[in-house]
Amino acid sequence: MRKFIALILLINIYVSSTFASAIDICDRGVLGDHIAQQLNAPSCHEVSKEALAKLQTLIIRDSSLTEIPSNAFHGMSSLLNIFISGGQIKTISPEAFQNLHSLWQLDLSSNQIENIPDFLFQNLHSLAWLDLGMNHLTNVSDSTFTGLRSVKYISLSYNKINKISPRALEDLGYLENISFSENSLTSIPEDLFKNLSSLRFVGFENAGLEFLPSKIFQDLTSLEELYLRKNNLKEISDDTFKTLSKLKILDLSVNNISAISPRTFAGLSSLENLNLSVNYVQTISDNAFSDCQKLKILRITNNELREVSFQNLLSLEDLNLSSSRQLRQVFLGAGLPKLKNLDLSSSDLHGKELFLSELPRLEFLNLGFNQISKIPTGFLSNLSNLQILHLHSNNIFEIQLGAFKELSSLKSLSLANNRIKGISKVDAGLSKDVEVFGVQVNP
């Protein structure tokens, strides 16, 4: 009898301890169900306190979750990563992230969040990565990011933001990457990036910008990449980029810029990649790139340039001037000693002056879609290193004797979609090893 009573007592102790170590999280709604599921608990009524406290990564994708309640993460002090994306969240309780002092990564992207409560993140002192992209946010206030003293990455892309407070980023001394792309801004405060000397990446693509304050980037001394593509910028004030001595990539494509002055790119001594495509640029000052001695890639497609003459771009390797239909003349030579790739396609070059000389390293040349009708003897005679030549989609009906004789390194020639039907390699001055595309080839 005594043994039986002892057994009953042991069972009671076991059952009591089991229930004592479990917690009911059903009051957290749909979120409670997801947490229980991730912990392999029988239900949200019976979740192990120990397992809850040890959980480091919470992942919830494409759920019916519409809110994050105040008690959402109670008892989950070890959380390092939270991914709640692709859902229907509209509201977040101001106390939702109150005790997550170890949280490092927070992804709330692709929801329907319209507002971030003031001071929502104030206790997330360890947070380094925050994604709020693809929501319905309309503004960023002074207190939106208060307390995020360790954050390095913030995405606000694909929202409906039309207003940013001048002090919205002032606490973010370690911030390295921020994107406001795909929003509805027309302007940004001049002091927005004040003292943010750690920033390396800034994105404002398709953000609705019509104007850039002249001193907006003056404190970004570590910036390496700046994307301003597809806005409504009409001009860039002189010296706007002058303190960006570490900038490597600058994208100003798809804007309404009409002129490049001698000071537009002043100070960009590390710039390697510049995109000015799809603007209304008519003139580029002779000294516009004088500070850009490391520039390797320059794209100026689809503009209204009348003439081109680049000097002293000693590192330039790739130049794209395609769809420059207003060009009257092209002078490219001694100032481009390292140029390898040149695209002048779709620029209506027929009957216009084209001077390509002293380009010892040029390997690729695209002259397609230019209404060229004849290829004269000694065509491109100075381009001894040229390997690939595109003359497709022109109006070529005659190739004179020895036209390509000087192109001793040529490997590939495209003549497709012209009036000429065939070509003799010997008569054209082509080596027998050259591959010719688009026409009948005779030895």
We report the CATH number of the domain holding residue 331 as: 3.80.10.10
Per the structure, the count of domains in the chain is 2
Q: Examine residue 345 and state whether it is found in any structural domain, yes or no.
A: yes
Q: Examine residue 37 and state whether it is found in any structural domain, yes or no.
A: yes
- pLDDT tens sequence across 84-134: 999 899 999 999 999 899 999 999 999 999 999 999 999 999 999 999 999
Encoded tokens for 44: 């949200």
Q: Which residues pair with 57 in a beta bridge?
A: 81
**163-188 b/e with 16+ CB inside 10 Å = b?**
ebbebbbbbbeebbbbbbbbbebeeb
- H-helix or E-strand containing 353? strand 353-356
Structural domain span for residue 16 = 1-51
Of the candidates 90, 54, 99, the one whose C-alpha atom is nearest the C-alpha of residue 72 is 99
- Domain end among 12, 33, 51: 51
Q: Examine residue 192 and state whether it is found in any structural domain, yes or no.
A: no
Q: Examine residue 190 and state whether it is found in any structural domain, yes or no.
A: no
Task: Give the rounded distance of the alpha carbon of 414 from its chain centre.
Answer: 33
Q: What is the band of 378 on the pLDDT scale with cuts at 50, 70, 90?
A: confident
- At 405, the amino acid letter reads K
Q: How far apart are CA 183 and CA 163, in angstroms?
A: 10
Question: Across residues 143-160, what is the average pLDDT?
Answer: 97
Q: Examine residue 183 and state whether it is found in any structural domain, yes or no.
A: no
pLDDT of residue 53: 94
Q: What residue has token string 């005679």?
A: 381
Which has more confidence, 352 or 235? 235
Q: Examine residue 60 and state whether it is found in any structural domain, yes or no.
A: no
Whether 5 shows a pLDDT value over 60: the answer reads: no
Could you tell me if 267 and 294 are in contact, meaning their C-beta atoms sit under 8 angstroms apart?
Answer: no
Encoded tokens for 46: 């019976």
3-state secondary structure 3-14: HHHHHHHHHHHH
Q: Examine residue 208 and state whether it is found in any structural domain, yes or no.
A: no
pTM of the model: 0.91
Q: What is the band of 443 on the pLDDT scale with cuts at 50, 70, 90?
A: low
Q: How far apart are CA 339 and CA 331, in angstroms?
A: 14
Q: Examine residue 25 and state whether it is found in any structural domain, yes or no.
A: yes
Q: What residue has token string 């392999």?
A: 40
